Structure 1
């Protein structure tokens, strides 16, 4: 059975029972968040087609908020919708991912430089960055590539979230999520990511040294290395036929 023919697990979508305790979150927002997370993590695999009715059943909610969520997901590029054909989960396209990495290179480079421009530390954020590096290294030492991909994503999110520019952080959110999806999809197909962990140390060391120029350069080098690693893998992956899940 190919990746695109993999059925959804029985029951609710992953994460559907772990909703935010924030009562302000609407059903539509909740559906958007859970469906997007399922796409990122591969529960909803690239190129499969599902119906809004199926999504509503798996989310245990009515069709209206699911329909609203699907419209948002389509606007953000996570799905495409064809009348009477269902909701198709977007593929992970190598050319599009190249644009994603180019965007992240610029935004994360700025974030790393901002972090390195803070007053001399050490401070709590420095400790969090070091700990994030250690968690990446521990995951690789345990030979858990999926956990490594999660910890790698957490480190990059910390760089963006901690830089002090909320607009930069929000601007980077969608492309960072798309990069994480590709990272999870290719985690077991890529070379052993020892060099990525080494890059993390160089980035964080430059931030600890408060060397903004070196932090930006190290981050940009890291993202270019990621492009050179993942794009050939994605181009070599043969897309399978689209299937509709009943």
Structure 2
């Protein structure tokens, strides 16, 4: 089945539609992070062109960007592959995220606009709607994290955290069928969102750091 990218659904905070390269990047990134492209699997630009309905140039540029974020490995004369998942990287990723996720939550509580407060409130309302699958819960987790990153109004922090979040979330998906309390982990976002909306920066920082720490503990318990 061919899966085409939705080219009109998302716009940036300035109302500008994403470029074709951004569309390709986001689509391929999500295929890798959610393990629809498995770790170590070969990546064919031709197949992605057909699957996403995009041209060779945006697909190629997206793959180069994903290589810089350690989701794709390109080997001369061998081809392009999704990177393997090394569970020993979890501690290193967590070490960085403990600092940056806390700082992002703190900054978001200080800098979020009224429009962004409303966006966070809409996400908060989703916690009152029962999720039917773990995939729904992970989608909500992703939306919350990326919304918080945007609220920092720091494009460098947003990009860096987005990259580390992708690496961590791929590990999470790898063990998803062995994790019994996914809903409890995602539910931790409720007080975090409330703190950011209310502008309680110190509380938001502490909640974000606790969430990241608990993430690592949960994954390690499944090993």
When the two structures are superposed, what TM-score results if normalisation uses the length of structure 1?
0.71
Distance 1:30 1:115, change over 3 A: closer
Tell me: higher relative CO, structure 1 or 2? Use CA pairs within 8 A at least 6 residues apart: 1
2:178 alignment partner, one of 170, 189, 193? 189
- 1:49 matched to 2:38? The reply is no
How far 1:100 moved relative to its partner?
Answer: 2.6
- Partner of 1:81, secondary structure, is strand
The partner residue of 2:120 within 118, 122, 129 is 129
Tell whether the 8 Å contact from 2:93 to 2:168 is kept in structure 1 after alignment: yes
CA contact (8 A) 1:32 1:66 kept: yes
Secondary structure in structure 1 of the residue aligned to 2:80? strand
**How far 1:115 moved relative to its partner?**
3.2
The equivalent of 1:161 in structure 2 is 150
CA contact (8 A) 1:146 1:187 kept: no
Q: Secondary structure at the match of 1:109?
A: helix
Deviation at 1:133, TM superposition (A): 3.0
> Residues 7-26 of structure 1: matches in 2 within 5 Å?
11-12=1-2, 14=3, 16-19=4-7, 25-26=19-20
* Structure 1, unpaired ranges of 5+: 1-10, 237-246
> Is residue 121–residue 197 contact of structure 2 (8 Å, CA) maintained in 1?
no
Question: What whole-Å deviation, never above 9, does each CA across 1:210-245 have from its counterpart, x for those lacking one?
Answer: 332222111101110011112443xx4xxxxxxxxx
1:231–1:91 Cα change, 3 Å: farther
Distance 1:137 1:75, change over 3 A: same
Paired residues for 1:72-87 under 5 Å: 72-87=65-80
For residue 161 of structure 2, the aligned residue among 161, 165, 172 is 172
CA distance 1:86–1:130, shift in 2 (3 Å) = same
Q: Does residue 208 of structure 2 align to residue 219 of structure 1?
A: yes
Structural RMSD (CA): 3.2
- The 3 A distance-change label for structure 1 pair 209 and 65 is closer
SS in 2 for 1:87: strand
Distance 1:56 1:84, change over 3 A: farther
Q: CA–CA distance in 2 between the matches of 1:208 and 1:17?
A: 32
Partner residue in 1 for 2:135: 146
CA contact (8 A) 2:106 2:205 kept: yes
Q: Deviations over 1:57-116 (max 9, x none)?
A: 545566555444433322221111223332221123222233333322222211221233
Deviation (angstroms), 1:156: 1.4
SS at match of 1:203: helix
